[in-house]
Amino acid sequence: MTTSDRYLAFANSAVGSRLANALGLPRPVPLERMPPYGDTETHIIAPPLAVVGGAGDAPLLPGLARELHWLGVPSLAHVARLDWISYANKAGTMSGRFNPVEGVRPKALLFDASAIANTGELSALYTFFHDTLATLDRCARVLVLGLPPSLASTPQASIAQRALEGFVRSLAKELKRGATAQLLYIAPHAREALHSTLRFFLSPRAAYVSGQAVTLQDPVFETPPMRDQRPLAGQVAVVTGAARGIGEAIATVLARDGAHVVCVDVPAAQTPLDAVAARLEGSALACDITAPEAGVTLLAHLATHAPRGLDILVHNAGITRDKTLARMSEAQWQSVLDINVGAPQRLNAALLDAGVLRANSRIVGVASISGIAGNRGQTNYAASKAAVIGMVEAWSPVLAERHISINAVAPGFIETQMTAAVPFAIREAGRRMNSLGQGGQPVDVAETIAWLAHPASGALTGQVVRVCGQSLLGA
Beta strand ranges found along 49-98 (DSSP E): 50-54, 75-77, 95-97
Other Cβ atoms closer than 10 A to 398:
11
3-state secondary structure at position 251: helix
Q: Is 445 exposed, middle or buried (0-12, 13-18, 19+ CB in 10 A)?
A: buried
Listed in sequence order, the residues at least 6 apart from 164 whose beta carbon sits closer than 8 Å to its beta carbon are 113, 116, 125, 144, 146, 183
Q: Which of 7, 37, 208, 381 is catalytic?
A: 381
CA atoms within 13 A on the CB side of 60: 31
Is residue 381 among the annotated active site residues?
yes
* Residue among 99, 54, 97, 48 nearest 77 (CA): 97
Contact between 69 and 195 under an 8 Å Cβ cutoff? The reply is no
Helices and strands, counts by H and E, the chain: 17, 14
Starting at the earlier edge strand, list the strands of the sheet with 260-265: 283-286, 260-265, 236-240, 310-315, 357-366, 405-411, 464-467
Q: Find the length of the chain.
A: 475
* Residue among 365, 398, 343, 205 nearest 197 (CA): 205
- Cα-based angle 183, 185, 190 (whole degrees, multiple of 5): 135
Catalytic residues: 381
